[in-house]
A = this chain, B = another copy of it.
Amino acid sequence: MTDKPNSRRNPLVRPNPISGFPEYSPEVCLELHQRLQAVAKLFASHGYTPIQTPIVERLEILQAKGGDVDKEIYTLGRAAQSDGTDAELALRYDLTVPLARYVAAHFGEITFPFKRSHIGDCWRGERPQDGRYRQFKQADIDVISINTLPLSFDADIPLIANEAIRTMGVTDHVFRVSNRKILSGALSALNVAKPQAVTRVLDKLEKIGRAEVARLLADNLGVSSTDCDLLLSLAQITSHDTEFTEQVRALNLKHDLLDVGLRELEYVVSRAQASGASEFLVDLSITRGFDYYTGTVYEVQWRSQPHLGSIAAGGRYDDLSSNYIRKRLPGVGMSVGISRIFGKLVQTSAIAPSKKTTTDVLIVWDRASSEKSLQDIARQLRARGQCVEVYHSATKLAKQVQYADRKGIRFVVFPRFNEFKDLRTGDQALFNVETFNQK
């Protein structure tokens, strides 16, 4: 091994993980995988079925959407001269753009409505900070159809997303719902000149406050003070039930689109109430940017972690794949910020990992037993769903038990004595390989 390129005399390379790219130990990983599996099972139990797309997309696909995210896109290059077959590639920054491309690319094979789930990593070159990672996991569900999409999905999606958030371990969140058509209808009813610019200003309500919004609407966009008051009153309507309709009616705005929006939102809220979920709140200030969503919109905040921003969001869009295919493909979907939620639960010790291993049972290796007999015991227990290790050498008993203790393995089997010990309770009992079944 004399010509080994990296001998001990070489200077050491720093092994630290990179800021913004989370790295999880086995104990934390076990907690994450358990939750991810539960979320995947939840999505599956509602018929939302996974697809897999590459983490890499052509840069032109990712940039087609436009907007602020462009400057955060990670592009791919090659450490050495490429063979010239590389397209210009980049890492995806969400799971929605890959879905839009996927639906266009595989249009002919898909049975619509297409209910897809996707739990996967995304990348953005943001400055790492609390709750913001450069590599982050999202759990998305979307449904897409051709030409029209039934309203029932606008209620299904947030109910499932709400369960996913609970499954991740959040207990104190508020699930805000609104419908874009209400504000759009109101702006049309008032004949406001620049509806999109006005919407963008109203979207800042929570951030900059009522007075500043009023000033911007009047000074920059020429909205009359009566209209301004009306719009601000509209945006400040909240309710836990369908009462919001009366509050909107009281503003005396008349427009078909507004009526449609009210009926749609009533349906979504009724379904949420019928399901018994108490986290839902109609909040007409929610707009989620303007160019993308066209109907129901969702935004979830974590009450005890308000600075994290939204931990889940989404809405209905008219035309997801119009960049790639000349079909009208409306959809509705939500994205749950797995990394944002999980990172905070670990950081605040709401999740306190205790097991360093999946192993439930350690079989002690004593010299009196043949290795084959020990492996046979392990095989029988594994066949019954137990996670089992045979200790890796015939060393002192105390050392073997200490290993179990350090790794958080609960049961230790002493084959020679036909006994097992529960390290959690300290209890010792007879071991029978045929009947032993502890978790």
A residues contacting B by CB (< 8 A) are: 1, 3-8, 10, 12-19, 21-26, 29-30, 32-33, 40, 43-66, 70-83, 85-87, 89-91, 101-102, 104-106, 109, 111, 113, 115-116, 121, 123, 125, 127, 135, 150, 152-153, 156, 196, 271, 274-275, 291, 294, 318, 321-326, 356-359, 371-372, 375, 379, 382, 385-390, 392-393, 403, 406-407, 409
Contact = CB atoms under 8 A, between A and B. Distances in A.
B55 A13 contact: no
A382 B70 contact: no
Please give the count of copies of this chain that the complex contains. Answer: 2
Contacts of A21: 54, 56
B113 A23 contact: no
A291 B1 contact: yes
Contact of A393 (B73, B80, B152): B152
A28 to B, nearest CB: 8
Contacts of A121: 55
Contacts of A407: 111
A23 B46 contact: no
A17 B53 contact: yes
A51 B65 contact: no
A333 to B, nearest CB: 14
B50 A29 contact: yes
A18 B81 contact: no
Contact of A152 (B17, B104, B127, B392): B392
A260 to B, nearest CB: 15
Given A3-B196, A45-B386, A76 B77 contact: yes
Contacts of A74: 76-79
Contacts of A13: 60-61, 64, 323-324
A88 to B, nearest CB: 9
Contacts of A60: 13
A80 B76 contact: no
A269 to B, nearest CB: 14
Contacts of A79: 59, 62-63, 70-71, 73-75, 90
